[in-house]
Amino acid sequence: MKKIYLAEPYTTETEAKVTEIGPNGGIVFDQTIFYATSGGQPNDLGTISWNGTTVEIVDVKKFETDGIEVILAENSASPVKGDVVHQKLDWERRYIHMRIHTSLHLLSVVIPLPVTGGSISTIKGRLDFDMPDPLEDKEKVENKLNELITRDLPVTFEWISSEELAQKPELVKTMSVKPPTGAGQVRLVRIGSFTDHVDLQPCGGTHVNSTVEIGAIRLGKIEKKGRNNRRVNLFIG
């Protein structure tokens, strides 16, 4: 299956052919623009249309090593194997996820501590850090983050082998979520130029093309989540 969102996260509509029914009863296509829940980023939503019928997508799930299935609204019509459908993305939801996800990468730059967890929603994002002591100056961290955003840094991606990643363990910032290596390749997301980047780490999520698209952010409550863990909440707009 071709995952269009990995290389073209701004693609909002495309045609796709039904190839099978997934293990959760969802529809599997030969290619998809829909992101499946993983790595703290929630699934996309949208619709598929075929033969004059349009159906809402209520979930997108991963299965096995590389499979993705879209779950349709209950009791709705369903295409069959071989049907060609028109996929249409809920772009407003996706774009918020892209902006928040990219901002969390930058948050891991201005707070250079191991990341123990994270999540994204259409309201906010958050990262959990291995942070025994509280932040000394939350406003200073927020200002540094907004400064990086306004630098209009390019966000690009590249692929390396699983073996190459194993030789560069410093690229992995997350302690709780390991990058997918089952397919033999790992996608790296770079913020900044090739010769002068501010961040480079493995990630399969969707991101904006430039940090300036994130817009202004503010840090919310910093919560203590255990002896050494603190949760930093982030809001955009």
Question: pLDDT tens across 151-161, in order?
Answer: 999 999 999 88
| pLDDT band for position 175 (cuts 50, 70, 90) | low
* CATH code matching the domain that covers 94-236, chosen among 3.40.50.300, 3.50.30.10, 3.30.980.10, 1.10.357.10: 3.30.980.10
Tell me the mean pLDDT in the region 70-96: 97
Closest CA to 236 of 221, 208, 220, 215: 215
| pLDDT band for position 32 (cuts 50, 70, 90) | very high
Tell me the mean pLDDT in the region 221-235: 94
46 token code pair: 């949208």
Sheet holding 217-224, edge to edge: 115-120, 125-130, 229-236, 217-224
- Residues 229 and 128 sit within 8 Å (Cβ to Cβ): yes
The CATH number of domain 2-89 is 2.40.30.130:
yes
Query: What ranges do the domains of the chain cover?
Result: 2-89, 94-236
Query: Whole-model pTM?
Result: 0.93
Tell me the mean pLDDT in the region 10-34: 97
Percent pLDDT > 90 in the chain is: 83
Q: Cβ of 67: how many Cβ atoms within 10 Å?
A: 16
pLDDT at residue 178, as a whole number: 61
